Amino acid sequence: MVRKTIIFIILIGNAFLAFSQDYLNPRLPVEVRVNDLYSRMTLEEKVGQMTQYVGLKYMQGLTSSDQMDDIENHDKKEFYPGLGVNDVIVKIKKGEIGSFLLVKGVDEANYLQNIALQSRLKIPLLIAEDAIHGHARYEGATVFPTPIGMASTFDTLLVKKIASITANEMRQTGYHWTFSPNVDVARDARWGRLGETFGEDPFLVGEMGRAMVKGYQNNELEASVLACGKHFVAGSQPLRGLNFSPMDVSERALNEIWLPPFKSIINEGVATIMAAHHDLNGVPCHANEYLLKTRLREKLGFNGFVVSDWMDVIRLHSLHKIASSQEDANRLAVNAGIDINMHGPGFFETLVAQVEEGKIPEKRIEQAVKSILRHKFRLGLFEQVLVNPSTVNLRSDTAKAIALEAAQKSMVLLKNKNKVLPLENLKQMRIFLTGPNANNQTVLGDWSARQKDDQVITIFDAFKSEQPTLDYYACGDHSNISDKDIEETRLRASESDITFLVLGDNPTRSTAVVRTSGENSDGANIDLFGRQDELIQAAYDAGKPVVVIIISGKPRAIKKAKELASAIIYAWEPGEFGGQALADIVFGRYNPSGKLPVTFPLSSGQLPAFYNHRPAAYFREYNDEPTGFLYEFGSGMHYTTVTYSNLVVDRELTNEQPVSVKFNVLNSGNLPVNETILVYVSDDYASVTTPVKSLAAFYKVELLPNETKPVEIKIPYKAFSLWNQNMERVVEKGSFTILVDDMRAVTELK
């Protein structure tokens, strides 16, 4: 009886505590709760919200399969010198850490949150991850195509579904914040991170980014996560193609190329922004007050919080040399607009002292902390932060179906000589399959954990299930193609009816291989890595048709493949169903529909290369190789022929009104097709030079065999605008050409 009385008193006490503290009352408006909680916080607790650490298992070099009690018994050298796991636990209890990244598993997520619940104010932690194409760094989650492949679909509804599924799988496992979407505009094929982007066109990048933000943030409360637009800003055409390298960018280029995608996701309500590694026009982005305050907040209207990129605050001191110490770097970054430091010790300790000394205004801390708290309340973390491991249901049937659909739609057929594809009379054919990407998890792309083998369908897996007598040769990896591999390819190709070479790149994060693409794996040469071109030559020399499949997150100058192969499919990094999607295309169950979201240059020397260049860009020619593109933005074939006709547009532009564009689309083949319609605008004459054409709209249409459909697309008035010599965005009087396929029509502003 006494025990029941004590429990009753405790429950009454907890209820009284909840209602006596407004921030714990879920019925009150978020802003009331934020202000109440902030008023109760010490300076140390406030700065703690701005402080991020890596997970405890990551600190100890453990994996997600290791148990939490292993962290106490593991003897790996500590990740943070002088700071052990128990020290971090104490910091959580004192409210000195507000978020974590690289948490390994639902058990660790709950473990950390239970520690946070022991803190004075019980403020939940934000658990963050680079969930860029699915919750792919989590073992057992759905792995979708990487963003460059998503962009090839030109399907924003599909991309929104991918982001929504990602958010749901993250929340099931205790994660709340994804460092995605990457809305960098990709302008250099040497740059290893190109696969994280949506390509080279600012409009396409912005629309895909918006779709991702919708999918991440607009679900039910328990299935939403915070999106993070990155990297602010203009870091994806770095000097020499090397990540981190400086960029010098004009005001015109900022307005025309680099800022529009961020404007799109900010208009969509993106919760967080990540600053870029590099220095822009001589000022590192992490200490650039003009960028983070004037441009981001005042002009673009961003009202969320800004996180640094990995260790980039301290790099203001160690790399960029604009800060004389870590303390000075912290001050510069926070005063410029950085709200959360990724990651580690040395930030919290100095920030508290700098606020007390007046070097950082407390108003600046208030702005950062209230924004962080606001989003924690909006995610419902104060009501329910622990998750039930027994209810985790990853890779649902719906998720797997979307992953397969995305993989199918992402692949781009670039060549199909004599209609060698799709294959017919399969049972009578002798197929030879080889190449460094034929039978491994390179299909998953960068930012993926190694998944169980039975989850990932490789190209070999899919082909073997189609043809049990498949001849397969296990070629060496990208950096270890031997003379034997080349000779074996020539011999077996001669004994087969058709050869499939699966080539490309290796983004796998492992010390056992040479990474040829992905973050911090940049290449000076954009030809196929190593001796892969020799494999193409050897297969071709056998005198039989050769189909080249490219698994890669970046454009490659595949001149040898274009010259010798009968067919080329650029599969990008298609995710866990990559092999199945490729087999569906090769064997005729799916009519390829992807289109390139980025231009393929002929060589490294022709970089940067992009379709929306200015008129004089190719006025002169090179004297040592052809001038132009290997494949242009928007390239992509079907097995059927799609033709456009009867283009009609509004003859006059009316102020602020969209322009109607009408035409017919015919699928003249015997297979259904998912057609991507691209509509471009060209300003015929203007006060400044403008691109030869710019993407103004894209549209998806399903066509049955021999079906014709009428299409009407509305081009927004702003698609005809430019930044004039006074850097004002205006639509100038004059004529504009609208281009759809090979059709042209003119509209005019009088």
104-145 pLDDT per residue, tens: 999 999 999 999 999 999 999 999 999 999 999 999 999 999
Asked if 680 and 545 sit in the same domain, the reply is no
- Tell me whether residue 682 is in a domain: yes
Residue 3 has pLDDT above 70, yes or no: no
Helical H runs in 173-248?
A: 202-217
pLDDT per position as a tens digit, 218-274: 878 889 999 999 999 999 999 999 999 999 999 999 999 999 999 999 999 999 999
Q: Are 356 and 350 in contact (CB under 8 A)?
A: no
Exposure class string for 85-112: b at 16+ Cβ within 10 A, else e:
beebbebbeebbbbbbbbbbbbbbbbbb
The CA distance from 158 to 149, in Å, is 12
The domain in which residue 4 lies consists of 1-40
- Tell me whether residue 634 is in a domain: no
Q: Report the CATH number at residue 490.
A: 3.40.50.1700
pLDDT per position as a tens digit, 473-486: 999 999 999 999 99
pLDDT per position as a tens digit, 574-625: 999 999 999 999 999 999 999 999 999 999 999 999 999 999 999 999 999 9
The one-letter amino acid at 28: L
The CA distance from 562 to 547, in Å, is 10
- Tell me whether residue 635 is in a domain: no
User: Of 326, 356, 388, which residue constitutes the final position of a domain?
Assistant: 388
Place of tokens 């995608």: 261
What length is written for the chain? 750
The CA distance from 749 to 563, in Å, is 45
- Tell me whether residue 247 is in a domain: yes
List the one residue out of 538, 461, 465, 529 whose CA is nearest residue 501: 538
Asked if 594 and 732 sit in the same domain, the reply is no
Place of tokens 């050298």: 77
> What share of the chain in percent tops pLDDT 90?
92
Asked if 717 and 706 sit in the same domain, the reply is yes
617: which DSSP letter? Answer: G
Asked if 228 and 148 sit in the same domain, the reply is yes
The pLDDT of 686-693, averaged and rounded, is 98
Asked if 30 and 57 sit in the same domain, the reply is no
pLDDT value at residue 47:
98
Q: Dihedral sign, CA of 427, 428, 430, 436?
A: negative
List the one residue out of 61, 62, 216, 65 whose CA is nearest residue 139: 65
Exposure class string for 248-275: b at 16+ Cβ within 10 A, else e:
ebeeebbebbbbbbbbbbbebebbbbbb
| Reported confidence tier of residue 15, pLDDT bands at 50, 70, 90 | very low
What would the two tokens of residue 147 be?
């963003």
The CA distance from 559 to 184, in Å, is 27
Residue 76 has pLDDT above 90, yes or no: no
User: Of 575, 602, 627, which residue constitutes the final position of a domain?
Assistant: 627
- Tell me whether residue 339 is in a domain: yes
Asked if 412 and 294 sit in the same domain, the reply is no
Residue 4 has pLDDT above 60, yes or no: no
Q: Report the CATH number at residue 685.
A: 2.60.40.10
Exposure class string for 7-33: b at 16+ Cβ within 10 A, else e:
eeeeeeeeeeeeeeebbbeeeeeeeeb
pLDDT value at residue 706:
96
Residue 275 has pLDDT above 80, yes or no: yes
Backbone angles phi, psi at 4, to 5 degrees: -60, -40
> What share of the chain in percent tops pLDDT 70?
97
Strand order in the sheet with 708-715: 642-649, 659-667, 708-715
Asked if 36 and 65 sit in the same domain, the reply is no
The CA distance from 47 to 40, in Å, is 13
pLDDT per position as a tens digit, 713-734: 999 999 999 999 999 999 999 9
pLDDT value at residue 221:
81
Asked if 280 and 138 sit in the same domain, the reply is yes
Q: Provide the CB-side half-sphere exposure for 112 (13 A, CA).
A: 32
| Reported confidence tier of residue 55, pLDDT bands at 50, 70, 90 | very high
Residue 10 has pLDDT above 60, yes or no: no
- Tell me whether residue 195 is in a domain: yes
- Tell me whether residue 633 is in a domain: no
Asked if 587 and 523 sit in the same domain, the reply is yes
Q: Are 391 and 614 in contact (CB under 8 A)?
A: no
Q: How far is CA 412 from the centre of its chain?
A: 19
Burial grade of 393 (CB within 10 A; 0-12, 13-18, 19 or more): exposed
Q: Are 17 and 24 in contact (CB under 8 A)?
A: yes
pLDDT value at residue 112:
98
Residue 424 has pLDDT above 50, yes or no: yes
Q: How many domains does the chain have?
A: 4
* Gyration radius from the chain CA atoms: 27
| Reported confidence tier of residue 71, pLDDT bands at 50, 70, 90 | confident
The CA distance from 267 to 47, in Å, is 29
Q: Are 334 and 316 in contact (CB under 8 A)?
A: no
The pLDDT of 142-161, averaged and rounded, is 98
Q: Report the CATH number at residue 369.
A: 3.20.20.300
User: Of 334, 369, 388, which residue constitutes the final position of a domain?
Assistant: 388
pLDDT value at residue 264:
98
Pick the range with the lowest mean pLDDT from 285-294, 439-448, 504-513, 703-712. 504-513
Asked if 245 and 342 sit in the same domain, the reply is yes
pLDDT value at residue 510:
73
Asked if 161 and 262 sit in the same domain, the reply is yes
Asked if 117 and 165 sit in the same domain, the reply is yes
- Tell me whether residue 476 is in a domain: yes
The CA distance from 246 to 460, in Å, is 42
Pick the range with the lowest mean pLDDT from 66-80, 138-152, 315-329, 517-531. 66-80
